[in-house]
Structure formats: C-alpha cells, structure tokens
Structure 1
C-alpha cells in the first residue's frame, strides 16, 4: 500500500505565517533582492518552522541534480557515482556530488537541502550508509523534496522512494549454486549486522538451505571489511565441521577470505569454494575470476534518475521500493567439494599448495 504524505505548506501559507504578501515570500524563496533584512529573516523563520520546500513548475526541464554519498572511496559508492555520471550525461543535465556531512553554515542545515531550497539544485539522489538516520530525519521534515535512495544501507522510511538490488534473491542464487555443486557444509561472511542489504543477502542464502532441509549456515559478521573478513574466515574454518564453501556478502570480504585461505595453505576452489557479492571492477584482483553475485549498478542508477526526474516534474509517489535483478556470474573460485577419501593436497614448507594464490 502506498503512503501518500502531506506535500507540505504552500507559499501562501508561508506568507500568512510571516505576515507578508505572497510576492514578498516568493522573492525570499527564490533568493531575489528587494526585501528588507528583517522581513527576509521573518520569512526564513516561517520557512524553517513550517518545513517549506520550493516546488518547480510542472514541465520545466531540470538543470542540475545532486548525488549525496557516504564514503566515495569505497568500491560501491564509486561505482554508483560513475553510473550516475553516465546516466545524467545521457539526459543532458548537470550533476553535483557532495557529502552528507556538509553543512550550510549560514543556515545550520545540510548543504544539499539548502541548495535545493534555494533553487540551486532540482532533486537529490542518495547513496548512504552510516549517515542514513540523520538524512532520513531531514527528509521527514521536508516531504515535498524530490529524492531517491540508491541501494539504501539501512532500512528506508516507508514513504521513501528507493532503488535496490534484489539482495535476497542474490543470496539465494549463491546458495543454490553451491548446493548444485554438492556442498553441504557452508558458512557465511556477512556485512554489518545492521545493514539492510547485508541482512537480505544472508536471509536469501539461509532460505535455500532451509528449503533443502539443511541447518542454517554459521555467520561471521565482518562489516564489509577485508581485514575483518580474514579473521572471520579463521573462526569459521575452526568449527568442528569445517565448511567446504564460503559465501562472502561483498567482493571485498571475498578477497579477504581468499587471502586468508591461501595463508592457511588451503586451495581455492579445490579445498574451499568462495562466492562473493557485487561484481565491481575495484574488487577484482589479478589472476582470479571470482564467482560472484553481480549487482546491476548501472541499471539502478538509471532507474533512480528516471524516478527522480519524474518526481521533479510533479509525478506522484505511487511507488516507493523498486528492485533491479542481480545475477550470479560463475568464475574460477567454486567447484565440487573435496573428496575426503582422496589424496591430501601436496605440502610445501608445512603448507598445502594453492592453485589460486594472490599476486598482490
């Protein structure tokens, strides 16, 4: 069921609250001259108090949208940025990229909100993780602002428009692939325990095991961090029934698992199979084609921008959550489980040789 939210106060309501005419309120909203400082301050106070958001005239072509992203140095945010850049280039509009922590000093509000309210941008795309709760609180105050969340890291508000990958289906495809190869002892390296995407990937993976009549796979949470994934790999391999396959909920964590397996003298995939999740170029490494669940980042960015431009044009928020399909891409890091009755792996210097040994 779609939740239809109050679009917020009109310009006439702001004018009444400030005790000015509508043309005067309009001058303040559009940052034009001809308004006394004390009058401008009174109108601005009314704007803040009532949560007014500037509306575009229907049919007016947008000129600039803003991407607000956490951690642009991460593979995921970087991939979203490049995809959004391509998408806006194809429709011929400008793109501004900023951090959610940037504040408009003169107003004490987020810079992205100030830019929209003052007419400097036409709508906002968000790629958020750690800063999501604070941003959601601001969006709650300004319900008319056109925005779309791309791949939200935390559960978005019920009224928010978001575009995500089919994370649950992606986790399920990883489990189905490993079961199809014959693996029955499986383990998961999860993302942050509070991550929406990470949680959905684990749920999808476990659902396939449950349907197959198998116990739930043990999970070690590694916060999408490569070094922490190495530690979780050691912990999972120390279990009495050592897993023959690992599902890492990001490619970076898969790389950490791969590195640790090599350090332990275990071969990939002869001794342990590894599946990742993302399919991003930054998460690959020389000599290894990782079996991974690929996220459709370009499609997500294009879909998010299309929805945003519709909202800017005045479309109603008839949809809130949109999912774009993932797909499993088979590489060199998965195979049938080892034959426990077969010969042991050759040992060199006290460690078994690894066919796929990282070259970094």
Structure 2
C-alpha cells in the first residue's frame, strides 16, 4: 500500500507481520530495534515495511514490547530436555511470555566484561527479564553476576547450588531412589548395581542415598564395587553397565539414575547375551517417552518433568514481579511405574 494513502487505508503493524510471515511481537521487535531477531527475519520485516509504506503512529509504540525470558540447557536434544521445554513453554504461553531456548555459554571469558558478569549483562542488554537453567553447573561468580544485574534466576535439577538463596525446582530424588531399590529388593534381588550420574550432581547424589538407604534398611551391605558414576547418558549406561556385568559376581539387577543410562545398561546386557528381565532387572529414572517405547518397556521412577518446567516458569514470573517466595526450593513428587524390565530374581 503506498505511503501516501489516506488514514483509513494506513498500513498496520499486523499487516506488516502477515506480509513478512512472522508474529506480531516479532515484527514489533524489529521496528523497536531489538537485537534478538534472526537476520533473515529482520530483512523480511523491513522489506514488508517498505512495500506497505508502514509508518508507526507518532507519540506511542505500535504494540507493547514482548516479554522475553531465556531457557538454557546443557543438552538440547535429550527426551528429558524436551519434556521440560514443553512445560516451560506451556506456562509461558499462558502468561504471554516469549521463551528463547539455547545452551549454556561455553566460554564466559571473552569480551570486555568480567567473566562473572558477561552472561548476565548480555541477557540484560538483550531485554531478557529472567533466566531458567536446566541440569547445568553454575559458579558462585555467575550467580552473583545475575544478582548484580537484577536478573531473576531459577534452576531445574541443578548439578550444584552455589548458594542456598538460588531458587530451584526438582523432584523427590531421594524417595525415588528408595522406591526403585525397594522394588528390586521385593523381587528377591540382593546384588543390585547402581549406575549414577556425575558425582557432583546433587540430584544424582540424592538418588544414590535413597538406593543405599533401601539396601541398609533391608540388611544388605552396600558394595562400593556396584556403585559407578558417569554422565546421564546412553553411552555412559552402556559403559558402566558393561563394567558391572563383567564383574566375577555380576549383579542380578541394576538401578540406573536416568532413562538414557538405563537403556545403555539394557544394551550392555544384550551384547553379553543376557535377557532383560529374565537374567537382569533394570530400573530407570525420569519416565521420558523412551522408557515406554523401549523393548522391554522400562520400569522407572517417574519425575513430572513438564510440571517441573511449568513450576519453574511460574516461579520465575513471580520473582520478576518482585514477589517473595515461601521457599527457594520446590520438590515435586516422584512415583514408581512398573513395566516389563523387572522380574523376580532367577531361582527365587
């Protein structure tokens, strides 16, 4: 539409957005000079502005700028991350908030800003209102940098908590580890292996302590040779499960502290000609889509990953609004889901 058209025919921002094939908030970001828009998207919006002859109304912004928060992961492609992402974005959509998804910066030492302030200040300059970090390790310097930038922070399943005031959302990991091990004990297993996560991961340590508590309660002395640690991943489960199964006296059951690790254990058993669950029972932790689709379907401790994402987003919005939280740490309940990968110990 030509720029000289009458007021009744004036191009609107909605028309610009439609012509560029973008959302109204994205078109607004381009016109307001925001930096968090892809170059190709910016070019399409600018071309639509020229073609339609769009002129913003003088004296006020055409639309209210979109509210934006960041969501960062160590691993963007795992089923765990996708479940958490679904919960975060559902809660954000309910509140009219945009979510920018990315990975934890690999190097905070570049540029003129101090390492402890670089990440926080970059987010602040980009217009972010807050940040959710998932299953990542944060330094005390980074946490203090977010505080100095007045950028609210919530962490989900943190590997560590640099200070007690950091707001976190997790699950009842200790009771989940207890339930998984008690289930295996109830099936007659006494030599039960543990394939855990990184030693520094607080959630993994809680699952380990639940495992140990169940054994001790049943009068079984925990064997350090049966407790191994590595990343929450399929390759780690394959390696650590293989090491357990190659012991002179192998375990009859293994509790793995994640679904991905549990599936690696199942593959390690298959490669050694061991049948699951007839010769080896396996329990996972998470209940991602992989658990129910596996063969055999995994018995797991279910943690409510989408709910954890929703709670994290709603908590972050409360912090942004300046509300005082009743607790800095929230744990949602886990529960045992029995499927096909566990059975009574052979000969019981």
TM-score scaled by structure 1? 0.71
- Alignment match, 2:8: none
- The CA deviation at 1:232 is 1.9
Aligned residues: 281
Matched, 1:260 2:268: yes
- Alignment match, 2:90: 86
Runs of 5+ unmatched residues, structure 1: 1-30, 32-59, 341-360
* Structure 1 residue corresponding to 2:288, chosen from 268, 274, 280: 280
What are the within-5 Å matches in structure 2 for residues 14-163 of structure 1? 63-101=67-105, 107=113, 113-114=120-121, 117-118=124-125, 120-130=127-137, 135-139=142-146, 141-142=148-149, 144-163=150-169
- The CA deviation at 1:330 is 0.7
120-129 vs 160-169, which moves further: 120-129
CA contact (8 A) 2:276 2:296 kept: no
Runs of 5+ unmatched residues, structure 2: 1-32, 34-63
Secondary structure class of the residue paired with 2:250: coil
Q: Per-residue CA shift, 1:249-292, capped at 9, x if unaligned?
A: 11111111101111111111111100011111246545331001
- Alignment match, 1:313: 321
Q: How well do the aligned residues superpose, as a CA RMSD in angstroms?
A: 2.7
The whole-number CA distance in structure 1 between the counterparts of 2:151 and 2:275 is: 52
The whole-number CA distance in structure 2 between the counterparts of 1:108 and 1:221 is: 34
The whole-number CA distance in structure 1 between the counterparts of 2:251 and 2:280 is: 7
* Structure 1 residue corresponding to 2:184, chosen from 178, 181, 191: 178
- Alignment match, 1:349: none
- Alignment match, 1:336: 344
The whole-number CA distance in structure 1 between the counterparts of 2:250 and 2:163 is: 40
- Alignment match, 1:228: 236
Matched, 1:206 2:221: no
Secondary structure class of the residue paired with 1:314: coil
- Alignment match, 2:312: 304
The whole-number CA distance in structure 2 between the counterparts of 1:177 and 1:162 is: 29
CA contact (8 A) 1:245 1:273 kept: yes
Secondary structure class of the residue paired with 1:247: strand
91-100 vs 319-328, which moves further: 91-100
325-334 vs 121-130, which moves further: 121-130
- The CA deviation at 1:233 is 2.0
Q: Per-residue CA shift, 1:77-114, capped at 9, x if unaligned?
A: 33222221122112222112233317795756667523
Secondary structure class of the residue paired with 2:170: strand
